[in-house]
Amino acid sequence: MASTDPLDLSQIDPPVWRIMVAGVVYGPYTLGQMRGFVDEGRLTHDSQVARGDGGAFRVAHEFLDLAAMFGHIPQQPPSEDDKPAASNFMITIQTDGDGRRAVISVLNESGRFSELMTGTFILNAEITAFDLRTQLSTVLAERGKFVIVNAHTGQLAWMGLGADTDQHANAIWKRGDD
Protein backbone atom coordinates (compact mmCIF):
# COMPACT_ATOMS: atom_id res chain seq x y z
CA MET A 1 0.00 0.00 0.00
CA ALA A 2 1.43 3.38 -1.02
CA SER A 3 1.77 6.09 1.58
CA THR A 4 -0.11 9.35 1.07
CA ASP A 5 2.47 11.26 3.12
CA PRO A 6 4.70 13.57 1.09
CA LEU A 7 8.32 12.50 0.72
CA ASP A 8 10.51 14.41 3.20
CA LEU A 9 13.99 14.88 1.75
CA SER A 10 15.14 17.26 4.50
CA GLN A 11 16.85 14.39 6.32
CA ILE A 12 18.75 13.34 3.18
CA ASP A 13 19.73 16.82 1.93
CA PRO A 14 19.03 19.38 4.66
CA PRO A 15 19.36 23.12 3.90
CA VAL A 16 22.48 23.87 5.95
CA TRP A 17 24.68 25.87 3.54
CA ARG A 18 24.96 29.65 3.56
CA ILE A 19 26.76 31.88 1.04
CA MET A 20 28.11 35.36 1.76
CA VAL A 21 28.29 37.85 -1.14
CA ALA A 22 29.51 41.40 -0.44
CA GLY A 23 28.74 41.01 3.27
CA VAL A 24 25.17 39.74 2.68
CA VAL A 25 24.37 36.18 3.79
CA TYR A 26 22.04 34.06 1.63
CA GLY A 27 20.55 30.68 2.42
CA PRO A 28 20.17 28.17 3.86
CA TYR A 29 20.58 25.98 0.78
CA THR A 30 20.72 22.23 0.28
CA LEU A 31 23.80 20.52 -1.14
CA GLY A 32 21.77 19.93 -4.32
CA GLN A 33 21.12 23.66 -4.65
CA MET A 34 24.81 24.36 -4.07
CA ARG A 35 25.64 21.95 -6.92
CA GLY A 36 23.24 23.90 -9.14
CA PHE A 37 24.96 27.17 -8.19
CA VAL A 38 28.34 25.67 -9.16
CA ASP A 39 26.91 24.51 -12.51
CA GLU A 40 25.55 28.02 -13.15
CA GLY A 41 28.84 29.67 -12.17
CA ARG A 42 27.18 31.41 -9.23
CA LEU A 43 29.34 29.53 -6.69
CA THR A 44 33.09 29.22 -7.24
CA HIS A 45 35.89 27.49 -5.35
CA ASP A 46 36.73 30.74 -3.54
CA SER A 47 33.16 31.81 -2.64
CA GLN A 48 32.59 32.45 1.08
CA VAL A 49 30.47 29.61 2.49
CA ALA A 50 29.36 28.43 5.94
CA ARG A 51 27.77 25.18 7.05
CA GLY A 52 25.10 25.35 9.76
CA ASP A 53 23.71 28.34 11.64
CA GLY A 54 26.84 29.24 13.56
CA GLY A 55 29.47 27.92 11.17
CA ALA A 56 32.39 30.15 10.25
CA PHE A 57 32.61 31.38 6.66
CA ARG A 58 35.47 29.83 4.69
CA VAL A 59 36.28 29.45 1.01
CA ALA A 60 34.04 26.83 -0.56
CA HIS A 61 36.79 24.41 -1.65
CA GLU A 62 37.81 23.94 2.01
CA PHE A 63 34.60 21.96 2.63
CA LEU A 64 34.99 18.36 1.48
CA ASP A 65 31.35 18.17 0.37
CA LEU A 66 31.86 21.16 -1.93
CA ALA A 67 35.47 20.60 -3.02
CA ALA A 68 34.48 17.62 -5.15
CA MET A 69 32.20 19.92 -7.15
CA PHE A 70 35.14 22.05 -8.28
CA GLY A 71 37.55 19.23 -9.22
CA HIS A 72 41.10 19.01 -7.95
CA ILE A 73 42.50 22.10 -9.70
CA PRO A 74 41.06 25.40 -8.52
CA GLN A 75 40.07 27.79 -11.25
CA GLN A 76 42.55 30.58 -11.83
CA PRO A 77 41.07 34.08 -11.65
CA PRO A 78 41.46 36.02 -14.89
CA SER A 79 44.41 38.37 -15.11
CA GLU A 80 43.99 42.09 -15.70
CA ASP A 81 44.86 41.50 -19.37
CA ASP A 82 42.09 38.92 -19.88
CA LYS A 83 39.22 41.28 -20.60
CA PRO A 84 36.03 39.60 -21.82
CA ALA A 85 34.90 40.47 -25.34
CA ALA A 86 32.12 43.01 -25.68
CA SER A 87 28.71 41.36 -25.42
CA ASN A 88 25.12 42.47 -25.74
CA PHE A 89 22.91 41.85 -22.72
CA MET A 90 19.21 42.21 -22.01
CA ILE A 91 18.44 42.87 -18.36
CA THR A 92 14.97 42.95 -16.79
CA ILE A 93 14.62 44.20 -13.22
CA GLN A 94 11.90 44.58 -10.60
CA THR A 95 12.89 46.80 -7.70
CA ASP A 96 12.08 49.98 -5.78
CA GLY A 97 13.33 53.47 -6.69
CA ASP A 98 16.63 53.17 -4.80
CA GLY A 99 17.35 49.78 -6.34
CA ARG A 100 16.59 51.15 -9.79
CA ARG A 101 19.09 53.98 -9.32
CA ALA A 102 21.70 51.48 -8.14
CA VAL A 103 21.09 49.25 -11.19
CA ILE A 104 21.42 52.22 -13.55
CA SER A 105 24.68 53.15 -11.85
CA VAL A 106 26.07 49.61 -12.38
CA LEU A 107 24.99 49.61 -16.02
CA ASN A 108 26.48 53.05 -16.60
CA GLU A 109 29.84 51.93 -15.15
CA SER A 110 29.74 48.69 -17.18
CA GLY A 111 29.21 50.04 -20.69
CA ARG A 112 26.68 51.63 -23.01
CA PHE A 113 23.05 50.97 -22.14
CA SER A 114 19.53 52.03 -22.94
CA GLU A 115 16.19 51.39 -21.26
CA LEU A 116 13.84 49.89 -23.84
CA MET A 117 10.81 50.01 -21.55
CA THR A 118 10.37 50.38 -17.83
CA GLY A 119 12.65 47.87 -16.13
CA THR A 120 14.09 46.38 -19.34
CA PHE A 121 17.57 47.44 -20.40
CA ILE A 122 19.99 46.56 -23.16
CA LEU A 123 23.71 46.82 -22.43
CA ASN A 124 26.86 46.52 -24.52
CA ALA A 125 29.82 45.90 -22.25
CA GLU A 126 33.12 44.07 -21.85
CA ILE A 127 31.89 42.02 -18.90
CA THR A 128 30.77 38.44 -18.29
CA ALA A 129 27.19 37.59 -17.35
CA PHE A 130 28.56 36.16 -14.08
CA ASP A 131 30.33 39.44 -13.19
CA LEU A 132 27.28 41.51 -14.16
CA ARG A 133 25.08 39.25 -12.02
CA THR A 134 27.48 39.63 -9.09
CA GLN A 135 27.46 43.43 -9.36
CA LEU A 136 23.67 43.64 -9.63
CA SER A 137 23.22 41.16 -6.76
CA THR A 138 25.47 43.32 -4.60
CA VAL A 139 23.54 46.55 -5.19
CA LEU A 140 20.07 44.99 -5.07
CA ALA A 141 20.62 42.49 -2.23
CA GLU A 142 17.07 41.69 -1.07
CA ARG A 143 15.47 44.78 -2.68
CA GLY A 144 14.59 43.28 -6.03
CA LYS A 145 14.98 40.62 -8.65
CA PHE A 146 16.40 40.49 -12.15
CA VAL A 147 17.07 38.36 -15.22
CA ILE A 148 20.10 38.77 -17.50
CA VAL A 149 20.46 37.29 -20.98
CA ASN A 150 23.84 37.40 -22.73
CA ALA A 151 22.88 37.56 -26.42
CA HIS A 152 26.40 36.57 -27.51
CA THR A 153 26.81 33.39 -25.43
CA GLY A 154 23.18 32.47 -24.76
CA GLN A 155 23.88 32.52 -21.02
CA LEU A 156 20.99 33.20 -18.66
CA ALA A 157 21.50 34.53 -15.12
CA TRP A 158 19.07 35.75 -12.47
CA MET A 159 18.50 36.60 -8.83
CA GLY A 160 15.49 36.58 -6.53
CA LEU A 161 13.13 34.41 -8.57
CA GLY A 162 12.76 31.56 -6.07
CA ALA A 163 13.70 27.89 -5.98
CA ASP A 164 10.86 26.66 -8.21
CA THR A 165 11.70 29.19 -10.90
CA ASP A 166 15.39 28.25 -10.63
CA GLN A 167 14.53 24.62 -11.36
CA HIS A 168 12.14 25.45 -14.21
CA ALA A 169 14.57 27.89 -15.85
CA ASN A 170 17.44 25.38 -15.63
CA ALA A 171 15.25 22.67 -17.15
CA ILE A 172 14.12 24.85 -20.06
CA TRP A 173 17.03 27.16 -20.92
CA LYS A 174 19.66 25.47 -23.02
CA ARG A 175 22.60 27.29 -24.54
CA GLY A 176 23.34 26.67 -28.20
CA ASP A 177 26.65 24.90 -27.41
CA ASP A 178 25.15 22.30 -25.02
pLDDT at 85: 81
- Distance between CA atoms of residues 62 and 49, nearest Å: 9
Domain 17-70 architecture: 2-Layer Sandwich (3.30)
- Distance between CA atoms of residues 116 and 164, nearest Å: 28
> Of all residues in the chain, what percent carry a pLDDT higher than 90?
20
Bigger pLDDT: 75 vs 124: 124
Please check whether the domain covering 87-172 is classified as CATH 3.40.50.920.
no
Encode 3-34: b = buried (16+ Cβ within 10 Å), e = exposed: eeeeeeeeeeeeebbbbebeeeeebbbbbebb
Indicate the domain borders of the chain: 17-70, 87-172
Q: pLDDT tens, 159-174?
A: 887 777 777 777 787 6
Q: pLDDT tens, 52-89?
A: 777 788 888 887 778 778 764 444 555 555 667 889 99
